[in-house]
Chain A
Amino acid sequence: AAGVIQSPRHLIKEKRETATLKCYPISRHDTVYWYQQGPGQDPQFLISFYEKMQSDKGSIPDRFSAQQFSDYHSELNMSSLELGDSALYFCASSFGPRYEQYFGPGTRLTVT
């Protein structure tokens, strides 16, 4: 079965630009999570959605927003990008809240 799909895999943006990351969960998974992993850091939880509703919020900056669509895919929108936003962004999905989370390959965002 196909795993979590993220696009793009790599993204280079300049400061103050915007970026949109996409996540396609595993089939029949209705819960999506977003994480940010800085260089040499552990992943930090940003936000989650269950059945297209926002469920939990972590350390997500106000410049970032996200949503989950009717087909359960999710998009993370990032505006006014800063150098410190350079990181690996992971999406994970699960078959319901609190179940095992499966991670995608990540999107590597570089802000110059």
Chain B
Amino acid sequence: KQEVTQIPAALSVPEGENLVLNCSFTDSAIYNLQWFRQDPGKGLTSLLLIQSSQREQTSGRLNASLDKSSGRSTLYIAASQPGDSATYLCAVIVGGGADGLTFGKGTHLIIQP
């Protein structure tokens, strides 16, 4: 059974810092990996999707990398802002068909003004 782990569980940093969130998964046979952002009591906003054949994806200040063989992904946030404060979730899909995502428990991020 696929398990997804995110480290750290919580992170608090001053505004302007660059930071890295980590995600690991036990079954390297993933089809793709998706990073989400969730604000308290709200829905999930898709940030980046990396397909298994890709090494990284970039969107604005966000960069996500994927090392499928070692079962790891990182989300790099550059020049953090207070508006980046949220929970960041990593999720993977294994196999074919309309498989559901398996989520990690998230990293709760606070950016101090």
Asked if residues A103 and B98 are in contact (CB atoms below 8 Å), the reply is no
How distant is A15 from chain B, measured CB to nearest CB, in Å? 23
Query: Chain B residues near A49 (CB, 8 Å)?
Result: 98
Known: A33-B98, A35-B100, A48-B99. A103 touches B105 (CB 8 A): no
Binding site for A on B (CB under 8 A): 31-32, 34, 36, 41-46, 49, 89, 93, 96-106
Q: List 30 A-B contacts (CB under 8 A).
A: A31-B98, A33-B100, A35-B101, A41-B105, A42-B104, A43-B101, A44-B103, A45-B100, A45-B101, A45-B102, A48-B97, A48-B98, A48-B99, A50-B97, A56-B97, A56-B98, A56-B99, A88-B41, A90-B43, A90-B44, A94-B98, A97-B96, A97-B97, A98-B31, A98-B96, A101-B46, A102-B46, A103-B45, A105-B43, A106-B42
How distant is B90 from chain A, measured CB to nearest CB, in Å? 10
Known: A50-B98, A90-B44, A98-B98. A42 touches B34 (CB 8 A): no
Asked if residues B46 and A100 are in contact (CB atoms below 8 Å), the reply is yes
Interchain Cβ contacts within 8 Å, total number:
71
Which chain B residue lies CB-closest to A40?
A: B105
Query: Chain A residues near B100 (CB, 8 Å)?
Result: 33, 35, 45-48, 56, 58
Tell yes or no: A65 within 8 A of B by CB: no
Query: Chain B residues near A88 (CB, 8 Å)?
Result: 41
Query: Chain A residues near B98 (CB, 8 Å)?
Result: 31, 33, 48-50, 55-56, 94, 97-98
Tell yes or no: A25 within 8 A of B by CB: no
Asked if residues B99 and A97 are in contact (CB atoms below 8 Å), the reply is yes
Query: Chain A residues near B46 (CB, 8 Å)?
Result: 100-103
How distant is B58 from chain A, measured CB to nearest CB, in Å? 15
Interface core residue of B31, B43, B45, B96 (most chain A CB under 10 Å):
B43
* CB < 8 Å neighbour of B43 from A48, A50, A103: A103
Which chain A residue lies CB-closest to B106?
A: A42
Query: Chain B residues near A104 (CB, 8 Å)?
Result: 43
How distant is A39 from chain B, measured CB to nearest CB, in Å? 10
Query: Chain A residues near B104 (CB, 8 Å)?
Result: 42
How distant is B76 from chain A, measured CB to nearest CB, in Å? 20
